[in-house]
Structure 1
Amino acid sequence: MSKYNAKKIEYKGIVFDSTVECEYYQYLERQLNIFGFDEIEVQPKYELIPKVGKQRKSEYIADFALFNNGKLVEVIDVKGMATETAKLKAKLFRYLYPDVKLTWICKAPKYTGEEWITYEELKKVRRERKKAK
């Protein structure tokens, strides 16, 4: 069990950190070639800060990387909540890899009726709902 009460789940021999992450992988499988990608990499790692002395390196470990003809198209992270550490690592990732699109995805049908939305869209919907109260 993780610190966010997510249970690991196995699908097609791949172990996912949560059920929601596995569900998004299945969604991506159904979208192969539709959205301009033909390969999904699970748990790709991107170095943010190299090892310095005895301090270990810092990495951004995403949930998925999408490729088209061997070229990286997009990096995706499925988020339930964004911690300060996650926000900082995303900021570093975007700075170090400016040509790579990083997208945070959330499962939020109760907010929009859509199965999957970006984290930015979710924050916007939450703000609007809060204003309406």
Structure 2
Amino acid sequence: MRPSLNSARRKAPNKFGARPKTVDGIRFDSTLEARYYEHLKLLKQAGVISELELQVKCELLPAQKHPVTGKHIRAINYIADFRVTYPDGTVEYLDTKGYEKQEFKLKAKLFIAKYKQPLWLIRKSGKNWTKEAIYA
């Protein structure tokens, strides 16, 4: 039997096993991302970092018109999980990933080429967090 159009639709589970989690009223795509947010909050409270931003949109290629048809081509954006600013003004873009899809690897290369700045991958290793440079 087909469900009615008015019934609530269930979102399909993430094929990589990520489960959404809400912390401080903010919905995170995964438990890993939510836990790292909690870690960053503690670092901010301790004064290790001065600013914490979530879901930072970075334009990789601007929107444009097709050269022949004139149709609109959407911009390509990368959305970093976190942008952290340290007291000395240093800025880091951080992404939590359990699995790196091909699209992410391509966007990471474009990000590094455009912004001339490293992109860091955050992973959990036992009880510790590890920060790896992304070379895509």
Instruction: Tell me which residue corresponds to 1:67.
Output: 85
Instruction: Tell me which residue corresponds to 2:97.
Output: 79
Instruction: Tell me which residue corresponds to 1:7.
Output: 19
Q: Gaps spanning 5+ residues in structure 2: where? A: 1-12, 66-71
Instruction: Tell me which residue corresponds to 2:108.
Output: 90
Instruction: Tell me which residue corresponds to 1:116.
Output: 129
Instruction: Tell me which residue corresponds to 1:46.
Output: 58
RMSD: 2.2
TM-score, normalised with respect to structure 2: 0.74
> Could you tell me how far 1:46 is from its partner in structure 2?
0.1
Partner Cα distance (2:96, 2:37) in 1: 10
Secondary structure (helix, strand or coil) at the match of 1:106 reads strand
Q: Greater CA radius of gyration, 1 or 2?
A: 2
Partner Cα distance (1:68, 1:106) in 2: 20
Secondary structure (helix, strand or coil) at the match of 2:109 reads helix
Q: Which moved more, 1:5-14 or 1:87-96?
A: 5-14
Amino acid paired to 1:115: N
> Could you tell me how far 1:56 is from its partner in structure 2?
1.1
Q: Gaps spanning 5+ residues in structure 1: where? A: 122-133
Match for 2:120 among 76, 83, 103?
103
User: Which structure carries more strand by proportion?
Assistant: 2
Q: Is the 8 A contact 2:18 2:29 kept in 1?
A: yes
Structure 1 runs (4+) greater than 6 angstroms displaced? none
TM-score, normalised with respect to structure 1: 0.75
Percent identical residues: 37
> Could you tell me how far 1:120 is from its partner in structure 2?
5.3
**1:25 paired to 2:43:** no
Partner Cα distance (1:68, 1:46) in 2: 19
Q: 1:43 to 1:8 in 2, by over 3 A?
A: same
Q: Is the 8 A contact 1:63 1:76 kept in 2?
A: yes
Amino acid paired to 1:82: E
